[in-house]
C-alpha cells in the first residue's frame, strides 16, 4: 500500500523483505494463495473469522495471525486501519487505511478486496474518513445509518487510492438484489416441496421462454470458471461419502426431493440457510466443510447442521459437481440408503448470467456510449451527483437488474433437467455488478482507481475503457455543475 510497508492479498509472492504486515481481505484461495503452514514468518492482519480459517484450515501459528475487530478504527504500526463488512463471504472485509504523512496530511486508501458494493459502504467510508484521527471509530457509529448518510451527503473527503474489485466491470453482468434472489429461491423450494405440479410447470414455462428468446440470441453453455485448485474427479469426490451410506433412512415417504446448493470453500451460506429455514430442514455437508464453517462462530448456523445426510434435506456441495453428471451420480449414491428420488440443485454464481438474465447469453464486448446531451444538461442543471451516478450506471444502455427490476420465481430458468435432476443457475453474486461498481466509484471523491482483477486482454481494455469513460463524464460534471467532485485517474496496470 502506498506510503506503508503493508501488502494486501499478496501471499503468492512469498515473504517480502520490505513487508512488515500482510493483510488478508478474506479466505478465498485466489487471495490467500501461497500462504502455507511452514515457510512463512510474517504477521497477518485480518478479520476474526478469516483468522480462524487461516489458523484452523492452513495451520498458520496463531502467534502470527492478528484478528482485527470489524467496524473499529485500529492502529497497526502507526497506520490507522478500519475493516468494513464487504458483503462477500463470511469474514470478508473492505480495508480502509489512513496513513499520516508530513505536514499533518493523511493518505487515504480503500482496498475493497472482493465485495458487493452498496450505498451503506459509501456512507460508512465517508463516516470513517471524516472522523478525526484523534477520535475513535466504533461499531455503534458505523451502524448508525443516519449518521453515516449525513457524513456522505455533507462532504466527501478525498481518497487517494481505491483498489477496486473489477470482477464484473462489464455491462453484460447485471444482477438482482441479493435479498430478492435469496427470497425467490427459498419460495421456489417451498413450493416444490408442497406442490408436486409446481416444478414441471416451472420447467415448461422456462423452456417456452428460452425458446422464444433463442430466436434473437445465441445461447451457449458457459462453463463455471476453473477454481484455483485442481479439480478432483467426481468419482474421487464421492469416495468419502460412500463410507457414510450405512445409516438407516430417516423417512418412509414415498417421494422426497433433495435440495443441493453449490458452494465454494466459504460463501453462499445465506442461500442454503434460507432454503433450510423455508423447509424447516437440516443441512448436511462434508466433515471438512463443516469444520471450516465452525470458524464462523455462528450458533444459529451450527444448530441447522447435521452429520446425518439422510435427515438433511439440504446439502451443501462443491460447486464443481453441480452439473447434470455430478448430480445424477450424487443422487444414485444417496439413493442406496435413503428415500430421496430427485434432486433440485442451485448453482449460485454470477459468471454465467448476463443482460436481462437469460442463462449463458453470449454477448459481444460492450463499449461505452455517450449520454444524450439533453440528459446531461438536465443533470448538470440540477447539480445532482446521484443523477450523474445513475446515468453512468446505465450508459451501456442495458437493463440494470440491481435497481428497480424485481427478481421472482418466474425468472428461475433451469440449465438442465431430467426425470430426477433439475439444475437452476442462480444470479446470486457476492461480487458487485457493473452498475453497482459505477455507483460506488462515482460516489466517492477518489483520485486514482486501481483495478485488482484481470482477465483477457480484450476484457481488460474494456474495463479500462469504462473507468476512463466514467472519469471523463465526471470531469465534465465537475466543470459544469461545480460540485467539487474531482475526476479520478485510472492507474492502468493492464498490458
What are the mean pLDDT values of the chain's consecutive 10-residue runs (495 residues total)?
Answer: 95 91 96 91 96 95 96 97 96 97 93 95 96 96 94 86 92 83 95 91 78 58 41 35 38 72 91 95 94 89 91 94 95 90 91 47 48 58 59 49 67 86 92 87 88 83 82 72 58 41
Give dist(CA 11, CA 256) in Å, integer: 46
**C-alpha closest to that of 173 among 393, 456, 492:** 393
Lookup result for grid cell 443441493? 260
Cβ partners under 8 Å of residue 42, min gap 6: 15, 16, 19, 21, 22, 64
pLDDT at 235: 35
What backbone phi and psi angles, to 5 degrees, belong to 484? 80, 20
CB 14 within 8 A of CB 35: no
Q: Which residues of 95-121 are buried (b: 16+ CB within 10 A; e: fewer)?
A: bbbbbeeeeeebbbbbbbbbbbbbebb
Answer positive or negative: Cα dihedral of 372, 373, 375, 380.
positive
Reported residue count of the chain is: 495
Give dist(CA 414, CA 298) in Å, integer: 32
pTM as predicted: 0.82
End-to-end CA distance of the chain: 21
> What count of Cα atoms within 13 Å lies in the side-chain half-sphere of residue 258?
28
Give dist(CA 151, CA 443) in Å, integer: 13
Amino acid at each position: 500500500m502506498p506510503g506503508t510497508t503493508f501488502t494486501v492479498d499478496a501471499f503468492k509472492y512469498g515473504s517480502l523483505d520490505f513487508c512488515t504486515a500482510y493483510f488478508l481481505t478474506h479466505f478465498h484461495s485466489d487471495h490467500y494463495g501461497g500462504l502455507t503452514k511452514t515457510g512463512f514468518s510474517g504477521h497477518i492482519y485480518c478479520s476474526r473469522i478469516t483468522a480462524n480459517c487461516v489458523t484452523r484450515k492452513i495451520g498458520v501459528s496463531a502467534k502470527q495471525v492478528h484478528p482485527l475487530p470489524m467496524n473499529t478504527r485500529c492502529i497497526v504500526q502507526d497506520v490507522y486501519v478500519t475493516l468494513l463488512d464487504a458483503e462477500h463471504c463470511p469474514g470478508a472485509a473492505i480495508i480502509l487505511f489512513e496513513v499520516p504523512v508530513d505536514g499533518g496530511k493523511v493518505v487515504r486508501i480503500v482496498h475493497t478486496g472482493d465485495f458487493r458494493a452498496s450505498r451503506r459502504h459509501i456512507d460508512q467510508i465517508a463516516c470513517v474518513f471524516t472522523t478525526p484521527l484523534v477520535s475513535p471509530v466504533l461499531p455503534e457509529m458505523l451502524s448508525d445509518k443516519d449518521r453515516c448518510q449525513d457524513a456522505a451527503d455533507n462532504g466527501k473527503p478525498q481518497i487517494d487510492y481505491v483498489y477496486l474489485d473489477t470482477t464484473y466491470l462489464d455491462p453484460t453482468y447485471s444482477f438482482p438484489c441479493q435479498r430478492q434472489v435469496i427470497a425467490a429461491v427459498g419460495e421456489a423450494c417451498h413450493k416444490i416441496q408442497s406442490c408436486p405440479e409446481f416444478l414441471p410447470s416451472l420447467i415448461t414455462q422456462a423452456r417456452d421462454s428460452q425458446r422464444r428468446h433463442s430466436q434473437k440470441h445465441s445461447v451457449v453453455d458457459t462453463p463455471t470458471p476453473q477454481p484455483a485448485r485442481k479439480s478432483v474427479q467426481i468419482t474421487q469426490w464421492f469416495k468419502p461419502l460412500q463410507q457414510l451410506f450405512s445409516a438407516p433412512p430417516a423417512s418412509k415417504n414415498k417421494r422426497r426431493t433433495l435440495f443441493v446448493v453449490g458452494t465454494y470453500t466459504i460463501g453462499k451460506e445465506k442461500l442454503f440457510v434460507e432454503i433450510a429455514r423455508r423447509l424447516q430442514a437440516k443441512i448436511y455437508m462434508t466433515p471438512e466443510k463443516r469444520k471450516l464453517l465452525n470458524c464462523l462462530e455462528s450458533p444459529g448456523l451450527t444448530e441447522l447442521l447435521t452429520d446425518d445426510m439422510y435427515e438433511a434435506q439440504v446439502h451443501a456441495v462443491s460447486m464443481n459437481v453441480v452439473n447434470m453428471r455430478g448430480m445424477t451420480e450424487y443422487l444414485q449414491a444417496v439413493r442406496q440408503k435413503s428415500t430421496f428420488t430427485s434432486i433440485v440443485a442451485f448453482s449460485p454464481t454470477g459468471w454465467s448470467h448476463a443482460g436481462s438474465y437469460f442463462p449463458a447469453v453470449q454477448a459481444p464486448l460492450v463499449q461505452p456510449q455517450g449520454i444524450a446531451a439533453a440528459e446531461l444538461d438536465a443533470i448538470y442543471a440540477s447539480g445532482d451527483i446521484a443523477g450523474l451516478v445513475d446515468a453512468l450506471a446505465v450508459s451501456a444502455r442495458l437493463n440494470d437488474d440491481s435497481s428497480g427490476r424485481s427478481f421472482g420465481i418466474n425468472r428461475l430458468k433451469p440449465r438442465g433437467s431430467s426425470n430426477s435432476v433439475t439444475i437452476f443457475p442462480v444470479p446470486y453474486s457476492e461480487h458487485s455488478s457493473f452498475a453497482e461498481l459505477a455507483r460506488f466509484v462515482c460516489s466517492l471523491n477518489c483520485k486514482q482507481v486501481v483495478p485488482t482483477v484481470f482477465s483477457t486482454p480484450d476484457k481488460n481494455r474494456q474495463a479500462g475503457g469504462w473507468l476512463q469513460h466514467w472519469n471523463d463524464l465526471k470531469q465534465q460534471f465537475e466543470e459544469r455543475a461545480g460540485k467539487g467532485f474531482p475526476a479520478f485517474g485510472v492507474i492502468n496496470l493492464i498490458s
